[in-house]
Structure 1
Amino acid sequence: MRIAGIPDACRQLACLALLALSPLGMFIGNVRQAHAADRPNIVFIFTDDHCTQALSAYDPSRISTPNMDRIAREGMRFDRCYVTNGICGPSRAVIQTGKYSHVNGFIRNGNRFNGDQQTFPKLLQKAGYQTAVIGKWHLVTTPQGYDYYDVLKGQGPYYNPPMITEGENGEPVTRKHTGYTTEIITKKTLDWLKKDRDDDKPFMVMYQHKAPHRNWRPAPKYLNWLDDVTVPEPETLWDDYKGRTQAASKQQMTVRDHLNANDLKLSGYGNMNEEQKKVWDAAYQPKNEAFLKARDAMTEEDVIKWKYQRYVKDYLRCVKSVDDGIGEILDYLDESGLAENTVVIYSSDQGWYLGEHGWYDKRWMYEESLRTPLLVRWPNVVEPGSTNDDITSNLDFAETFLDLAGVSVPDDMQGRSLVPLLKGNTPADWRDVFYYHYYENPGAHNVARHYGVTDGRHKLIRYYALEGKKIDDWELFDLKADPNELQSVYGSTDYETVQQRLKDQLDAAQQQFGVPEDTNLGRPQRRR
């Protein structure tokens, strides 16, 4: 008779000890090591403010991005990847933690990320992965959970960036660099892949660009690219905001009124040295002189059109350098033999306005900034050239990285792994509605605090604070009938059932994710 299981436990331990010393035990150990070595590497490529309208795998009308397109062609393109909070720092904090902003504590730019909390790179390290982050960090505190970090100081300039890395004493040190920031970040990533990583460990590297963030300073080789091209204007460039609430008209992010002389390259050099300034002036001075000479004879509409062309071309020029760098990374993965066991993921911190609604910038729950690119290549697993239309999110990235590595996803993470979708198997209980929340008002561009839900067909938004005052404004859009979101149908009897369903789903989402009823942090009590 066995009592309380104690003899069984002792017997099992003894057997395991003997097995470990036997030829069979050593064989099993070797198999486990081989299995660990076969875990896929992860290269996460991340940009700042890159919209699907400027990625030719989604929209070829403005630019060709052959290297980003290659990831889509050899992998999967996600068509409905939404962000939880459309602004730089918060998006990065969501990715580190797999949690909404109100949970991870980083709700707006200017906050400090609490790196002591649970993050996916720490969990990967514990599982034997080598981890690195190179490029834009934008979370203020020193990166934790990374064997190597070399990150931009703050936002970082487009030229000659100071970057922070670990010094010999283990403390962060700032080092100056000379050159174009996009190219420097690519070179540092290649150097790490070629020289610094441990060949005996699987790795995860976050290769993160500043570009194409404002104020869009192109690389020397692209300063005159697109000069002979007229970039198509979006059909909503002349939006008058009459079909929406006061929030849409009170923003401060129009091409017409809010791009400054620095944005438009009519003044300023950024962080350039004298040699770089000469190259810059040779490209921009003739173009600027031509504009200023013609300015008095131009109509207001002509000036707006000129501003749009100057802005969007510089933006696209910055994207072009990013695409070049991605090509270098993909080529190295192929040449080194790493490609076959490396998952390559491309995304951005949110979408962006290339003149839609007359805007630049992000922040809104409208489609252009809510939706972000997501491309994933996983050889021999993801079907090449496939697409996915499920609702996915940056909230899912941490969980996906962990799942790829065979690491259990903690219960307190709020997203879901995309691995089943990558394998072509959407779970029956996959989300069919998505929750968004933006907090930064008062703040840059005067975009009202708002939250909402979308199911991909209909979208409900509530604006609850603007210019320091409480408001209670609602918008409802039918994205099939009105894909440009020009006319809210909130309050329409034709949408009464849809409106109530979305309000119920909004309540359910806020309860599910534990959104606090605090006007300084989360949602206020709302009237039904």
Structure 2
Amino acid sequence: MDRRVFVKQFSLTVLGTALLPMGLSAKNKNLWGKKITPQILFDEGKLDVILPEEAFNPMGNWEQSWRIWMPFRGKPGEASGYLSVTRNVADHSGKVEYGVEQAISENKQWMHLTKVAIKARNNQYGTPLNWEAATEYIKAPGKGFKEDVGVYQSSNLTNEKEDICLNFTLLDTVQRMKMEGVKELNFTLFDELDKEKKNHSIRYKEDTTIQIGGKTVEVHCYEQIGEGMLPWMYYVDANGRLLLAINGMRVLIADVECKSKYQASYPEIGEVSIEKRAAQSGRKGEIRKDKRPNILFLSTDQQTWNTLSALGNKHLNTPNLDRLAGKGVTFSQCYSPNPVCSPTRASWITGLASSEHGVIKNGRSIISGLKTVGHSLRDAGYETVFAGKLHVGIPDSYGEKIPGFDKVLCMGIGGKGTLGDQAVSSVAVGYLQNRDRSKPFYLTVNFLQPHDICNWIKRHNKNHKDRHLDSVLNELPPLPENFNVILEEPLKMKVPRKREWTETDWRYYLWAYYRMVEEVDAEIGRVLQALEETGEADNTLVLFNSDHGEGSASHQSVTKNYLYDEACRVPMIVSYPKELRSGVIDHENLLSCLDIVPTVCDFAGAKLPENCSGISMRKLAAGKKRKLRDFVVSEVNNDNGRMVRSEDFKLIVYRNDSNHLFFDMKNDPGETINLARDSKYNQQVKEHFTMLEQWESKLRKASFCKPFNTKIS
């Protein structure tokens, strides 16, 4: 089931536990602490209403209204409103349309009014397909609307299962239970924010009588229980009409006059419409004058460069990244500026190298005084939005506030990509579906997977026995060709290895890692699908990158924080079909994660953060430029190491260590033969030290980062 979950911008519940933040200061002394029953309501005079008298068929078209009474809000008896529902069955389509209008007022000071249009299947559950809602706050009667409080929401649901109910249609469901002789229904409930609440049921409880509208009426009583909601009791008459519904915080009472009374008191009710609010919010095809593209930056954590089936990896399936690659340019020679989490994420935020922004290892914060890409784009008129993993300290940030970003939708769940990435994709989808379209957006969506491989590695120690291994033995991928090659490495080049693992353990590790890549591919697919459904995909630049790679058994290595390609080389995709090439894989050009910020600012027409080290990919991806740079540099290990990668060669060097690594990347892409001491390559080694010197000379380093020795030792 594909669910579209959207951002919570207002609190609205038709049949839930709360409409607005609950203030229980004014308690009804007669009712507080008691279970609300029909008899108590009768004794309080709440059932003195005008009941409808016309014939009623719950299976056909109808309109009904219920008075809402909330005994524990405001002054006793003065928190009230109405709920009006219409039901229309579409001819021959198997669909039913609902119109919902709900008003709540408190102490005659304001009213919260919501109107909803729903399309659903004409089945026992009223399974929702899509709905739209407009909501307004209205001042005291005749005083007009409060300013800047209107909200419009919409949701599209594709439900493969029939046993799904929506809060708005439960009243219809319980009425039809009576007429169809159904004693029990079990279902999943979607609330008004499209949030799934499982294990709900409505069960017939008993036949009884209630006193309402000056009559004693025989009714069928039904009880609803389930996750995330207080129990409800429903009282339905012999014709299937719902006369009364009660839960701990709210009462619905059938009353034909309740709607007209409120409409007479609040003339502004008639001015609220879904169409008007949708147009104001820009969600119904509003064309903004700003023609610059929206920008969506998708990132993963610890995804090495070749983990895309589009790049020929036959041991995993990444249909969504493949689809993005088919609409853009994929660069296979992109390098992390520092192959560990926090430093690269700080580079994505600032556009600077780690020795400049100061995050030279995990746990450090960006130095004071630096602007973020959020500042640049916000100043250029973009709405800047962040979702997912940050993992870097930023001065003046607190809670879920990031300098330069208008909104922080969520921060993910640290260390648990399987769980947290679902939340990240959900809030990103919600933002895309419900945002204000009056200006372009910069949305950065930062997933955690396949970082969970770190937890997997920790669990699979020497004595670990995995009960799932036998079931996937025939699916285990082969080990890389450079698996058995372990070189004499610089002392500070601490490469994590699992020497106690068997060959099967290593292959199982690769299998598990690829499954985690597939997990995050699915979440990326949800976001891309939502973008397409908004109709804005054609005018949205999409970038995809990862902060660093994963050892992937090369040199018998795992995880990151060293400069072999598997840990340092990452995927990069740039897609904007109306301007850039599509379906192109570039194996030649050298890129860096530092190129994200210049590219974003280029498309946005925004000013680059000061001293930005990267280069915009725009002309290269458009085919207007053949070469982006001659070499790329990565830093590593608390500012102790450097990598210089040119078109043909790669140098790895550490502070105060004469043991350098130098590889011929054209003929030895697996980095198996160290040529640093081969005299035939002295000139090439010298040239790469010169490249490093050029790079270092342009950096404005943080005060605690020392100059890096660029002389051959």
Mark yes or no: TM-score above 0.5: yes
* Ranges of 4+ aligned residues in structure 1 off by more than 4 Å: 33-36, 223-228, 514-518, 524-528
User: Could you report, residue by residue, the CA deviation over 1:452-486 in whole angstroms, capped at 9, with x for unpaired residues?
Assistant: 3121311122122xxxxx43321211112222111
Moved more, 145-154 or 85-94: 145-154
Report how far residue 215 of structure 1 moved: 3.8
Looking at structure 2, the residues matched to 158 and 349 of structure 1 have their Cα atoms a distance apart, in angstroms, of 15
- Aligned counterpart, 2:308: 55
Looking at structure 2, the residues matched to 102 and 526 of structure 1 have their Cα atoms a distance apart, in angstroms, of 19
- Aligned counterpart, 1:208: 446
Unaligned runs of 5+ in 1: 1-32, 160-179, 258-302, 442-448, 465-469
Residue 80 in structure 1 maps to residue 326 in structure 2: no
Report 1:108-257 matches (<5 A): 108-114=361-367, 116-141=369-394, 142=397, 143-152=402-411, 155-158=414-417, 180-195=419-434, 197-215=435-453, 228-241=474-487, 244-247=488-491, 251-257=494-500
Amino acid at match of 2:485: D
Q: Which has the higher contact order (CA 8 A, sep 6+)?
A: 1
Q: 1:386 to 1:252 in 2, by over 3 A?
A: closer
- Aligned counterpart, 1:523: 708
Confirm or deny: 8 A CA contact 2:334 2:572 kept in the other structure.
yes
Cα RMSD of the aligned pairs, angstroms, is 2.6
Looking at structure 1, the residues matched to 619 and 539 of structure 2 have their Cα atoms a distance apart, in angstroms, of 18
Which one has the bigger helix percentage?
Answer: 1
Looking at structure 2, the residues matched to 43 and 393 of structure 1 have their Cα atoms a distance apart, in angstroms, of 18
Report how far residue 239 of structure 1 moved: 2.2
Q: 1:502 to 1:246 in 2, by over 3 A?
A: closer
Larger radius of gyration: 2
Q: 1:226 to 1:216 in 2, by over 3 A?
A: farther
Confirm or deny: 8 A CA contact 1:52 1:59 kept in the other structure.
no
- Aligned counterpart, 1:490: 676
Q: Secondary structure at the match of 1:53?
A: coil
Looking at structure 2, the residues matched to 410 and 481 of structure 1 have their Cα atoms a distance apart, in angstroms, of 38
Amino acid at match of 2:424: I
Looking at structure 2, the residues matched to 81 and 326 of structure 1 have their Cα atoms a distance apart, in angstroms, of 20
Looking at structure 2, the residues matched to 239 and 493 of structure 1 have their Cα atoms a distance apart, in angstroms, of 22
1:407 corresponds to which of 606, 610, 617: 606
Residue 371 in structure 1 maps to residue 615 in structure 2: no
Q: Secondary structure at the match of 1:471?
A: coil
Looking at structure 2, the residues matched to 84 and 148 of structure 1 have their Cα atoms a distance apart, in angstroms, of 27
Q: 1:227 to 1:190 in 2, by over 3 A?
A: farther
- TM-score, normalised to structure 1's length? 0.72
Residue 502 in structure 1 maps to residue 684 in structure 2: no
- Aligned counterpart, 2:521: 323
- Aligned counterpart, 1:437: 635
Report how far residue 106 of structure 1 moved: 1.2
Looking at structure 2, the residues matched to 108 and 254 of structure 1 have their Cα atoms a distance apart, in angstroms, of 20
Residue 425 in structure 1 maps to residue 624 in structure 2: yes
Moved more, 107-116 or 197-206: 107-116
Confirm or deny: 8 A CA contact 1:102 1:522 kept in the other structure.
no
Identity of aligned residues (%): 27
Q: 1:310 to 1:486 in 2, by over 3 A?
A: same
Looking at structure 2, the residues matched to 319 and 340 of structure 1 have their Cα atoms a distance apart, in angstroms, of 26
Confirm or deny: 8 A CA contact 2:304 2:566 kept in the other structure.
yes
Moved more, 74-83 or 503-512: 503-512
Unaligned runs of 5+ in 2: 1-285, 457-467
- Aligned counterpart, 1:94: 347
Confirm or deny: 8 A CA contact 1:216 1:315 kept in the other structure.
no
User: Could you report, residue by residue, the CA deviation over 1:319-359 in whole angstroms, capped at 9, with x for unpaired residues?
Assistant: 11111112222222222211110111111001221111111
Q: How many residues align?
A: 409
Amino acid at match of 1:323: D
2:648 corresponds to which of 446, 449, 457: 457
Looking at structure 1, the residues matched to 528 and 666 of structure 2 have their Cα atoms a distance apart, in angstroms, of 37
Report how far residue 382 of structure 1 moved: 1.5
- TM-score, normalised to structure 2's length? 0.54
Residue 345 in structure 1 maps to residue 543 in structure 2: yes
Looking at structure 1, the residues matched to 632 and 538 of structure 2 have their Cα atoms a distance apart, in angstroms, of 34
Which one has the bigger strand percentage?
Answer: 2
Looking at structure 1, the residues matched to 692 and 611 of structure 2 have their Cα atoms a distance apart, in angstroms, of 21
Confirm or deny: 8 A CA contact 1:343 1:378 kept in the other structure.
yes
Looking at structure 2, the residues matched to 122 and 481 of structure 1 have their Cα atoms a distance apart, in angstroms, of 44
Looking at structure 2, the residues matched to 114 and 154 of structure 1 have their Cα atoms a distance apart, in angstroms, of 25
User: Could you report, residue by residue, the CA deviation over 1:47-100 in whole angstroms, capped at 9, with x for unpaired residues?
Assistant: 000012321122323211010011111111112111211111000111111111
Confirm or deny: 8 A CA contact 2:543 2:574 kept in the other structure.
yes
Amino acid at match of 1:253: P
Looking at structure 2, the residues matched to 341 and 390 of structure 1 have their Cα atoms a distance apart, in angstroms, of 26
- Aligned counterpart, 2:662: 476
Amino acid at match of 1:455: S
Residue 41 in structure 1 maps to residue 284 in structure 2: no
Q: Secondary structure at the match of 2:352?
A: coil
Confirm or deny: 8 A CA contact 1:53 1:62 kept in the other structure.
no
Residue 385 in structure 1 maps to residue 385 in structure 2: no
Looking at structure 1, the residues matched to 595 and 405 of structure 2 have their Cα atoms a distance apart, in angstroms, of 20
Amino acid at match of 1:205: L
Looking at structure 2, the residues matched to 353 and 331 of structure 1 have their Cα atoms a distance apart, in angstroms, of 31
